[in-house]
């Protein structure tokens, strides 16, 4: 099995998932545990602009790599 599979969800980081298409099923329970204000910021600042740009799969994967390997990314406590 490969490392990635086709999916209808947009994985941002830290296991945050959003449906790529707005008409898809509701988000998983782990996402519902976020506060509504954080969900709203993520949706308006990241998810909606990405949908509007209609980026390709390659562009999206590159964006994920940049976010993942960003030196400004906060460190998790060990």
Residue 41 pLDDT more than 70? Answer: yes
Identify whether 42 is part of a domain.
yes
Residue 78 pLDDT more than 80? Answer: no
- Per-residue confidence at 1, pLDDT binned at 50, 70, 90? very low
pTM of the predicted protein model: 0.41
Identify whether 46 is part of a domain.
yes
Q: Quick one: pLDDT at residue 18?
A: 54
Phi, psi angles (nearest 5°) of residue 19: -65, 135
Q: What is the mean pLDDT of residues 36-50?
A: 77
Q: Which domain holds residue 63?
A: 31-70
Identify whether 47 is part of a domain.
yes
Residues 14, 7: Cα–Cα separation, whole Å: 17
Q: Quick one: pLDDT at residue 12?
A: 55
Domain count of the fold of the chain: 1
Q: Both ends of the chain: CA-CA distance in Å?
A: 30
Residue 52 pLDDT more than 80? Answer: yes
Residues 15, 34: Cα–Cα separation, whole Å: 11
């Amino acid at each position: 099995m490969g490392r990635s599979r086709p999916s209808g969800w947009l994985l941002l980081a830290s296991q945050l998932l959003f449906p790529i298409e707005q008409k898809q099923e509701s988000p998983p329970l782990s996402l519902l545990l976020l506060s509504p204000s954080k969900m709203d910021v993520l949706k308006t600042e990241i998810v909606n602009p990405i949908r509007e740009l209609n980026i390709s799969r390659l562009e999206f994967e590159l964006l994920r790599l940049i976010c993942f390997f960003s030196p400004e990314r906060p460190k998790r406590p060990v």
